[in-house]
């Protein structure tokens, strides 16, 4: 738990670029969550493309980070994934991705956070989960494709289950039980 609270703190961060079609999934899912009642200690933020801002915000002491993001893993568009960043295969971007303050992957944010924590003595979140959605397109354009837009309410329900302590799915690269499963 964070030192300044008797309750664990969770940050749900919607990331992505709303000008690149389905890359805006995380932002839309964060907006869907923002209007719902949340458990104590849970905050939702529209981070968009401000990855550096997210890294600095995490220095405030969160126990859990849930990232909402478009996540291309080879499934059908609109497929939801729950990924535990600490598990094997939890990496979200290839190694060697250059640091770009406007297009930082969750892995790049966590790497920057590690550096910031080492320099400040802060503690990173003990757990990082990604609720990802398979995009149909990340070409220039505003608005989600129909299949990704249809996944936003289910993603919001999934996050509420995760932050509310319910067992929703195995926390690896799998789909929700209510959706079709992968091998």
The residue to which tokens 């209510």 are assigned: 178
* Calpha distance 78→133 (Å, rounded): 6
Residue 5, pLDDT > 70, answer no
Task: Identify the pLDDT of residue 145.
Answer: 97
Cα separation, 28 vs 135, in Å, equals 13
Round the average pLDDT of the chain to a whole number and report it.
78
Rounded Cα–Cα distance for residues 76 and 132 (Å): 12
pLDDT of residue 46: 92
Distance CA 52, CA 57 (A): 9
Confidence of residue 49 (pLDDT cuts 50, 70, 90): confident
pLDDT at res. 157: 94
Least trusted range by pLDDT, from 83-87, 103-107, 142-146:
103-107
- How many Cα atoms sit within 13 Å of 18 on the Cβ side? 11
Give me the CATH topology for the region 10-163: Rossmann fold (3.40.50)
**pTM, whole model, 2 decimals?**
0.77
More confident residue, 156 or 120: 156
The pLDDT tens digits of the residues spanning 57-94 come to 887 888 889 999 999 999 999 999 998 877 755 554 43
Domain map (residue ranges) of the chain: 10-163
97 by DSSP, 3-state: which? coil
């Amino acid at each position: 738990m964070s030192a300044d609270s008797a309750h664990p703190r969770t940050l749900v961060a919607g990331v992505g670029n709303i000008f690149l079609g389905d890359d805006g999934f995380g932002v839309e899912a964060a907006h869907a969550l923002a209007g719902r009642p949340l458990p104590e200690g849970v905050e939702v933020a529209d981070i968009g493309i401000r990855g550096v801002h997210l890294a600095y915000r995490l220095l405030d002491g969160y126990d859990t980070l849930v990232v909402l993001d478009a996540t291309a893993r080879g499934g059908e568009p609109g497929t939801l994934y729950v990924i535990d960043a600490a598990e094997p295969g939890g990496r979200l971007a290839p190694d060697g991705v250059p640091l770009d303050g406007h297009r930082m992957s969750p892995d790049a944010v966590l790497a920057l956070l590690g550096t910031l924590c080492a320099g400040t003595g802060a503690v990173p979140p003990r757990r990082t989960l990604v609720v990802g959605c398979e995009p149909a397109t990340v070409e220039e354009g505003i608005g989600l494709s129909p299949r990704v837009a249809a996944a936003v309410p289910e993603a919001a329900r999934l996050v509420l289950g995760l932050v509310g302590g319910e067992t929703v799915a195995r926390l690896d690269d799998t789909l929700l039980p209510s959706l079709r499963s992968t091998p």
